[in-house]
Structure 1
Amino acid sequence: MRGAPSGPTGRALDVMELLGREPTARLRYVDIVQALGLNQGTAHSILKTLSDRGWVARDPVDKTFALGPALAALAKKADKARPLVSAARLVARDLAEELGFATSVIELVGNELLVLDFYRTEKSVPAPPPGLKVPYAPPYGTAFAAVATAEERKAWLARRATPSKAVGKALERALELSRERGYDVDWTTPAVAQLTTLVGSMDELHPTLLAAMDQILLEYTAPSFEESGANRPVTSITAPVLGIGGHARLGIAIHPISRIPARRIQACGRRLAEVTGKIGTPAASG
């Protein structure tokens, strides 16, 4: 959307997002001021307004703040207004029980990927919590970019951390594979994920580090898992939920975060593509 963002609105939303990161945590006034770098007057005005509207609740005993009842009421209405999200949540929850891996529902919001919901199993390891945001830039969001328009794919590719032509070609091949299969496999380890985020925020990079970054992305972009018998480290398997026009703003992910057999990866991916295909619309061409 064009136009300048509203600073006051952004600060109010920052407060809501801060309280929403850990729904069970109760933050004091000073905690909110320090976490968001607000001055006391601004923080007081925001919290009073949100409290008066029921968006934030203040405990009368310990004076801490938490999300309020008005937000819960609005969330119920939002579920009815966004049936595709509700359907994706049900599918993700059922897949966690069926496959034994943690699952999540992801939404593309602007140039960020937002984790809407996360479903754990007894044996699953920790995975991205609800509210987590990551940049919609390579290697993140391949499943979304694979079904995007040509213009959107080009913009996604341009946001990669390195200008290497070899990496660009590998990413284009990853998009092709994801579109053909109906799902994407993310091999990126937490350490590599942290490194790509760091590199993406740097204006200048030593040529030696840039070359190393190129190699890492090439190795993790689109390895072949068609070789039977091999166990591969998999962070997530993601399939897009297609909306109107055949493009994706939602996705469902499985989070093995472990080494699993190649055949198991394929089976999980096919199952994921199957169930997301049932709640989405046919893919658009181009």
Structure 2
Amino acid sequence: MARPAPAAAKALKIIDLLVTHRGEQFTISDLARRTGSSLGSAHAVLAVLEESGYLTRHPTRRTYGLGPALVSAGIAALEQHPAIRVSAERITELSAELDADVVVSAATPAEIVFVAVGETSSRYGPGFREGERLPLVPPLGLVFMAWAHPREVEAWLGRAPFTLDRERVELALAAVRDRGYALGLASAIKRTLGDAAESFADPERAEAADRNDLAESISLDDNYDLPTVEPDQEYDLGMASAPVFDADRRVLVAITASGFSPGLTGREVIDIAERVKACATLVTKQTRGRLPG
């Protein structure tokens, strides 16, 4: 893999920070500190971003915010990825229906990016923001890997921060394919995703947070993925996630609900998961995707 250019990496960190803090503006000192840059390098990167219209600078406060060039970039991206636009429209209704946090996420080669967040917010939910990222490391990303190419699965497995039981992972992926959705226990989700959300939402903790360290606290050994769901047993459901497919039957995005009240019966867990799956299936069909045969 090619090493990223330092200036490009700094520019992306700055844009990511501003995306996850909508409506806020930051001084050059704030941006340098929160992205781990020197003032000199931050100044050079900011000058280029401002000149190109990707950032704007307030004339008197000397703070930086997102610029108009990113608006056209976002519109163009949505035209290229209609599944994201349609998913974002659908999750508001699903969020209210489930009284839960619902997000749309996409996978990059190494990360999971939250691209849309529903309006309803649960007091049990992790409270994600658009633009936040998590590492795509086992077992996070089961819903993306269940239908992925074997090379992608191997790369995903290779990023695991702990020794994996390959047979257990294969069973987990097979369960997701068979059900059409992924499940996760609340204890593991809270331990990893909740801590991650709190870290990156808090500016004073954001620069010190390490997503990979957070991911190490979750594994399949604690039945994170709920391999079996008994109708009359109680569960603390952490998340239910279903894929949206493109015309080539590849997973484009995932719709994920979280923030459920504790002590759900197995029947309630399955009902929630099926509703999330139904929403994702509807988006797949509306955007001319094809379900796996």
Work out whether the TM-score is over 0.5.
yes
The equivalent residue for 1:19 is 18
Spell out the pairing of 1:55-66 with structure 2 (5 A cutoff). 55-66=54-65
Unaligned runs of 5+ in 1: 202-212
Amino acid at match of 1:223: L
The equivalent residue for 2:158 is 158
Q: Distance in 2 between matches of 1:37 and 1:158?
A: 27
- How far apart are 1:200 and its partner, in Å? 6.4
The equivalent residue for 1:256 is 259
Unaligned runs of 5+ in 2: 196-209
- In structure 2, the residue corresponding to 1:221 is in which secondary structure? coil
- Relative to structure 1, the CA distance from residue 123 to residue 18 in structure 2 (aligned partners, 3 Å threshold; closer, same or farther) is closer
- How far apart are 1:192 and its partner, in Å? 5.2
Deviates more, 1:72-81 or 1:106-115: 72-81
- Relative to structure 1, the CA distance from residue 100 to residue 67 in structure 2 (aligned partners, 3 Å threshold; closer, same or farther) is same
Is the counterpart of residue 37 in structure 1 residue 36 in structure 2? yes
Spell out the pairing of 1:215-226 with structure 2 (5 A cutoff). 217-226=220-229
The equivalent residue for 2:200 is none
- The alignment of Structure 1 onto Structure 2 pairs a total of residues equal to 270
Deviates more, 1:119-128 or 1:141-150: 119-128
Spell out the pairing of 1:1-286 with structure 2 (5 A cutoff). 3-121=2-120, 123-124=122-123, 125-165=125-165, 168-187=166-185, 188-191=188-191, 197-198=212-213, 217-259=220-262, 260-280=264-284, 281-284=289-292
- Relative to structure 1, the CA distance from residue 220 to residue 41 in structure 2 (aligned partners, 3 Å threshold; closer, same or farther) is same
- How far apart are 1:5 and its partner, in Å? 2.6
Q: Percent identity?
A: 22
Q: Distance in 2 between matches of 1:196 and 1:177?
A: 26
Deviates more, 1:218-227 or 1:244-253: 218-227
- How far apart are 1:122 and its partner, in Å? 5.4
- Relative to structure 1, the CA distance from residue 56 to residue 174 in structure 2 (aligned partners, 3 Å threshold; closer, same or farther) is same
- Relative to structure 1, the CA distance from residue 154 to residue 74 in structure 2 (aligned partners, 3 Å threshold; closer, same or farther) is closer
- In structure 2, the residue corresponding to 1:227 is in which secondary structure? coil
Q: Distance in 1 between matches of 2:141 and 2:164?
A: 19
Q: Distance in 2 between matches of 1:248 and 1:71?
A: 26
- In structure 2, the residue corresponding to 1:110 is in which secondary structure? coil
Deviates more, 1:37-46 or 1:143-152: 37-46
* Contact 1:92–1:104 (CA under 8 A) maintained in structure 2: yes
Cα RMSD for the two superposed structures:
2.5
Amino acid at match of 1:178: V
Q: Distance in 1 between matches of 2:4 and 2:222?
A: 39
- Relative to structure 1, the CA distance from residue 255 to residue 122 in structure 2 (aligned partners, 3 Å threshold; closer, same or farther) is closer
Q: Normalising to structure 2: TM-score of the pair?
A: 0.82
Q: Distance in 1 between matches of 2:122 and 2:39?
A: 44
Q: Distance in 1 between matches of 2:174 and 2:21?
A: 38
Q: Distance in 1 between matches of 2:30 and 2:176?
A: 43
Amino acid at match of 1:149: H
- How far apart are 1:220 and its partner, in Å? 2.6
- Relative to structure 1, the CA distance from residue 42 to residue 226 in structure 2 (aligned partners, 3 Å threshold; closer, same or farther) is closer
Q: Distance in 2 between matches of 1:130 and 1:5?
A: 24
Q: Deviations over 1:65-97 (max 9, x none)?
A: 111222123222322222111111112222112
- Relative to structure 1, the CA distance from residue 196 to residue 161 in structure 2 (aligned partners, 3 Å threshold; closer, same or farther) is farther
Q: Distance in 2 between matches of 1:268 and 1:123?
A: 15
Q: Distance in 1 between matches of 2:99 and 2:214?
A: 34
- Relative to structure 1, the CA distance from residue 126 to residue 3 in structure 2 (aligned partners, 3 Å threshold; closer, same or farther) is closer
- Relative to structure 1, the CA distance from residue 32 to residue 146 in structure 2 (aligned partners, 3 Å threshold; closer, same or farther) is same
Q: Distance in 2 between matches of 1:196 and 1:220?
A: 21
- How far apart are 1:51 and its partner, in Å? 1.6
- How far apart are 1:283 and its partner, in Å? 4.1
Q: Deviations over 1:89-110 (max 9, x none)?
A: 1122221122221100000011
The equivalent residue for 1:210 is none
- How far apart are 1:219 and its partner, in Å? 1.9
* Contact 2:182–2:225 (CA under 8 A) maintained in structure 1: no
- Relative to structure 1, the CA distance from residue 200 to residue 225 in structure 2 (aligned partners, 3 Å threshold; closer, same or farther) is closer
- How far apart are 1:199 and its partner, in Å? 7.8
Amino acid at match of 1:45: A
- Relative to structure 1, the CA distance from residue 60 to residue 179 in structure 2 (aligned partners, 3 Å threshold; closer, same or farther) is same
